[in-house]
Amino acid sequence: MFDILFISYGELNADENFKRLKDRFPLTKRVKDVKGIHQAHIAAAQKSMTEMFWVVDGDAKIMDHFYFQYDSAYKDLDKETVYIYKSINPINDLVYGYGGVKLLPKKLVLNIDLSKADMTTSISDKIVSLPEISNITCFNTDEFSTWRSAFRECCKLAAGTIKYRNKELDTFRLSRWCSDYGKDRLFGDFSISGANAGREYGIRNKDNYTSLKLINDFEWLKNEFSRNTF
C-alpha cells in the first residue's frame, strides 16, 4: 500500500540489510549518505510516491514475520499520525520504539521542524506506538557506531526531548542502557560507555536546545567519542 524507504548513512551492515529487505520487497527504495537525520527523512519523503511511507533504518534487520501491512485491528489509519513499531536491542534486550520501523505521513515529513533534537516525535502531534516487533536494531557493528547510538538515545531519554513520553518507562530504559546489562555482548562495553556519556550530556544540557541538536551531527559525535574513550 505504501512505499518502503531504507535510509542508511555509513552503517557497516547497511548493504546486507538492504539486500535482505529488497529480496523480500523488491520495490524498496534507498536513501543513502544524506547528511543529517532530518534531511535524510526529507529525502525519503521526496522519493516516496505514496501519501505515507515506511522507514527502515540502515542497521535494521527486519523480522521474517514483518510484512509492512498496517493492521487495522490497532485502530483506523490516520494519515497525519506517526506510527512506530517496536525493535529488539541486541545488547540490553530492551524492546520498544528505538530503531523500529516507522510509518510516516509524507506531507508532514516534508515540512519537518529542523530545530528539534528528536526527529521522529517532531513530525506530528499524533504518535502511536504499535505492539508488533518489526526488527532487531543491529547498531553494534563497531566501536564508534555502538557508542554513538547509545549516546544519542540516552541523551534524549535523560533530557526529556521525546514528546509525549512515559517518564517511568524512560527512567527504566535509561537505567537499563546505563547498567552493566549486556556488557558481554558484541561491543557491549562501548554501548554502556556511550549510554552513560549520553545520560550525563542530556542532563547537563536539558534546557540548551543548541547543544542538544549536536547529537545529530555525526562529526561532533566522533569527536565526543574520541574524547570519552581515549
Same domain for 207 and 120, yes or no, is no
- pTM, full prediction: 0.95
Same domain for 20 and 130, yes or no, is yes
Domain boundary among 137, 171, 196: 137
Domain boundary among 110, 137, 164: 137
Closest CA to 100 of 53, 137, 63, 141: 137
Same domain for 124 and 27, yes or no, is yes
Same domain for 127 and 169, yes or no, is no
Same domain for 16 and 107, yes or no, is yes
CB atoms within 10 A of CB 210: 8
Domain that holds residue 10: 3-137
Same domain for 119 and 185, yes or no, is no
Same domain for 166 and 204, yes or no, is yes
* CATH value at residue 60: 3.90.550.10
Same domain for 156 and 94, yes or no, is no
- Whole-angstrom CA distances from 52 to 29, 32, 46, 103, 209 are 14, 20, 11, 7, 29
At residue 83, the 3 state secondary structure works out as strand
Domains identified in the chain, total number: 2
Same domain for 75 and 104, yes or no, is yes
Same domain for 99 and 115, yes or no, is yes
Q: List per-residue pLDDT tens for the chain, 230 residues long.
A: 899 999 999 999 999 999 999 999 999 999 999 999 999 999 999 999 999 999 999 999 999 999 999 998 888 999 999 999 999 999 999 999 999 999 999 999 999 988 777 888 889 989 999 999 999 999 999 999 999 999 999 999 999 887 667 889 999 999 999 999 999 999 999 999 999 999 999 999 999 989 999 999 999 999 999 998 86
At residue 195, the 3 state secondary structure works out as helix
Q: How many helices (H) and strands (E) does the chain have?
A: 8, 8
Paired sense of beta strands 82-88 and 60-62, if any: unpaired
